[in-house]
Amino acid sequence: MANHKSSIKRIRQTEKRRLHNRYYAKTMRTAVKRLRMTTDKAEAVAMYPQVQKILDKVAKRNIIHKNKAANLKSKLAAHIAKLA
């Protein structure tokens, strides 16, 4: 167990931040998965801006790398383009 006040506080902050990041990462993964599962092009086109916003926000907060967000957006756009 930590002995210093600062280390006890740091443990609290780290746990709080971990849960916060976990929530946003899970929300992002779910949004991406929903878009990938969509077979209707109109619905996918409507969903894409919201998913893009989530990816940008998560990348801005360093929960995922900015290149990963760019790769996901690119793959999702290609997926939407393939839909009939």
pLDDT digits (tens, 9 = 90+) for 25-84: 999 999 999 999 999 999 999 999 999 999 999 999 999 999 999 999 999 999 999 997
Distance of alpha carbon 79 from alpha carbon 82, whole angstroms: 5
Q: Which 3 state secondary structure label does DSSP give 46?
A: helix
The single-letter code of the amino acid at 1 is M
Residues across the chain: 84
The single-letter code of the amino acid at 39 is T
Tell me, what DSSP letter sits at residue 61? Answer: T
Distance of alpha carbon 55 from alpha carbon 68, whole angstroms: 9
pLDDT number for residue 2: 82
pLDDT number for residue 84: 78
CB 58 within 8 A of CB 66: no
pTM: predicted TM-score of the whole model, two decimal places: 0.86
